Amino acid sequence: MNLPRFNRAHRGWFASLVLLGWMGLNGCQRTPNNSLPGYVEGEYVYISVPVAGRLEALGVRRGADVKAGDPLFALEPEPEKSDLAQAEAKIETARATLADLHKGRRETEKASLRAQLGEAEAALILASEEKKRQVKLAENQAASKQERDRAESTERQAAERVQRIRSELETAELGARADQITAAESELRTREAAAAGARWQLRQKNAVATHTAAVHDTLYRQGEWVPAGKAVVILLPPDHIKIRVFVPEARLGAIHSGDRVLIKVDGGVGTTEARVAFISNRAEFTPPVLYSRDNRARLEYLVELSLPPDVAPQFHPGQPVDVTFSTR
């Protein structure tokens, strides 16, 4: 049974029904005057995953013990596995594009520009020599001013061609423009984020134990479809097993958090020590099923007791107990 599913208004009624059946089986015997009837409560942990899928493997069975990190179940990996492969392929494409932008033009294109630069520099040398010759001839009046001007113009054109080709070669060596590289880097980060999301989605197909606990129940069989968010395995950790007892208002003032309490189970050997972990600040009425000459309608307060982790697994949710509070 899963007592935590009952709301606060019904907890006293449920405890009363348990205690009534217990008293009936034991000849309606009363607990000692200094003891109060209580019951064992289990707060279960429902293990689910946020994605849907067919149950591919169930690694635990009811009643088994698991440790934190142990695999519990796995859903089929598709389509998340394919989505991850696609996202990783897009990352490689984005990386290749970015690397290509950093490289600039192809080596063959840069080689062609270097060859053109060599030709232009050779033409410039030739044009410079021709200009010098024409200037000398013009000074000796062996050549016309028009021929000298033509030689000077040819030299300027050759020099401009050399400068233009040098600029083109420098640009080719630099690679793509800064804004193109920035855009490519942004695209790579986007692809990496998408892959991280796909990787996370795939990991959600495998569930592991969050606590050292006993497997209370399994809710699906291998091959069944599991909707997103639906629990597949129910765990009951030892530290989630506690004792609940309703204390009359007249005795509440003598109880404090951390107080030592003795727990006795019907048919058990000896007593078990527990500690007061929680005292409710909200009063509840005694359920009518507990009415008797000595147990009139009165205000009750819920008190929860914590059990030592090594002892807690010996108690079972719904089990009635006798609770004896220490006297001060």
Domain termination residue (choose one: 185, 213, 229) = 185
| Residue environment code for 63-99, b if the CB has 16+ CB neighbours within 10 A, otherwise e | eeebeeeeebbbbbeeebeebbeebeebbeebeebbe
Whether 130 is in a domain gets the answer: yes
The CATH number of residue 277's host domain is 2.40.30.170
- Tell whether 190 is covered by a domain: no
Residue given tokens 């527990």 in the structure block? 274
> How many distinct structural domains can be found in the chain?
2
pLDDT tens-digit readout, 292-307:
445 444 678 899 999 9
Flag whether 200 is in a domain: no
Q: What is the pLDDT of residue 27?
A: 38
User: Whole-structure pTM over 0.85, yes or no?
Assistant: no
Together in a domain, 99 and 32? no
Q: Does residue 78 form part of some domain?
A: no
Reading the block at residue 66, the tokens are 């698991």
Strands (E), 104-151: none
Its domain, for residue 154, covers 87-185
- The secondary structure of the chain in percent helix, strand, coil, rounded to multiples of 5, reads 45, 25, 30
Task: With respect to residue 61, please indicate whether it lies within any of the assigned structural domains.
Answer: no
In-domain check, residue 283:
yes
For residues 110 and 174, state if they share a domain: yes
Distance in angstroms between the alpha carbons of the first and the last residue of the chain: 36
10-48 confidence digits (pLDDT tens): 444 444 444 444 444 443 444 445 788 999 999 999 999
What are the pLDDT digits (tens) for 3-13? 344 444 444 44
Residue 8 domain-assigned (yes or no): yes
Last residue of a domain, one of 168, 185, 202: 185
- Least confident residue range of 46-60, 218-232, 241-255: 241-255
Q: Give percent of the chain above pLDDT 70.
A: 82
Of 185, 216, 249, the residue that ends a domain is: 185
